[in-house]
Chains A and B, each alone.
Chain A
């Protein structure tokens, strides 16, 4: 069956891109948590080195970039169409069954995007194009990405901005995983409530996990 350009196709692509972004976040979090290890940032720096040198990861970086663009563009298109579908709003807004954060996906998404730019400038572009401190691990020279992170999170405003940002990531994720399954037509009497639970758990674990990093670095 040919996939035609339609509302359903858009939602399917939106969902696949979103799920892909979730998988990226899980990998990203796994690596970031290494910085909390008390080993002079060795494990973290080695992992960071692997990520910037491995050809497969470098290719995936472009796929990830594309995934973000598609997710954002389609999100904006879908949202504008949805707004246009109801030009006159209700006086009494509906209390029909919807989850709270489902109503604010474009808003939480926009906040994620705004701070994503800041985040990329802070770390990604710095690592790619900027001056990087160095460190010796064994007898090899590595870029000390970990030091960069730790320096940034010694500043309270940065810590607060990141926590704020990550909270909104959590809000977005609360209506993400199960909603993507729904968009893919994977709906089930018994398992859909489980998917809701997974969504909430992902939101708390991913946002919470990322929040721990600036928090612990700042406190210690």
Chain B
């Protein structure tokens, strides 16, 4: 496949940044989106240019590090996957693909497509946890939990903190992230006692950090 890429390039957090157009040729439809980016970067390195910086870690859809806003959608056109799970067969030969970083005031661009998502860590630090004393590992079945609650908690815990919800939201709101973090504990007996304070503290933090409503 031959593709035209329009990629946001920005030297560092303080520089202005702009879109730069690149051509990549002979891409296999079976390669992943990030592999396609790797191929582009190898060609840039060979030419002595600065490769495109982007976040990635597990490349198996579980860590949430990869973050690209592809053709108007975080993580690209597919449903319920991260950028690293996107494959080039979702595009057509000759397509133009616009790749942007997440855009939100609390997620400043550090370089090219990498944004600083420590705002999410601050939300968790503000109260998105369960206070427990350390000690021996409690017995797995000592506290009975209704299956429905366990399932709902697990659904909420599926949030990998990628930030796509903020990137997608027209208000750049972090409400979905916070609701996932609050719900995953609220459903369990261990998390229930602090549920109200947890909710208030994390919501106060997203307001303080300047996410939208």
Contacts and interface: CB of A to CB of B under 8 A. Distances in A.
Contacts of A98: 170
Interface in B157-213: 168, 170-173, 175, 196, 200, 203-204, 206-207, 210-213
B104 A85 contact: yes
Contact of B105 (A11, A85, A92, A95): A85
Given A81-B212, A96-B73, A7 B206 contact: yes
Nearest to A83: B212
B22 interface: no
Interface in A101-132: 102-103
- Tell me if B's interface is mostly helix, strand, loop or mixed: mixed
Chain B interface extent, by class: 20 to 34
A69 B105 CA distance: 29
B100 A92 contact: yes
B200 A4 contact: yes
A4 B73 CA distance: 34
Interface string A60-99: 0000000000000000001001101111111111111010
B91 interface: no
A96 B74 CA distance: 9
Contact of B73 (A10, A81, A95): A95
B212 A86 contact: yes
A88 B103 contact: yes
Interface of B: 6, 8, 19, 69, 71-74, 98, 100, 103-106, 168, 170-173, 175, 196, 200, 203-204, 206-207, 210-213
User: Which 10 pairs between the two chains have the least Cβ-Cβ distance?
Assistant: A85-B212, A92-B72, A85-B172, A82-B171, A82-B212, A96-B168, A7-B213, A86-B172, A92-B98, A78-B213
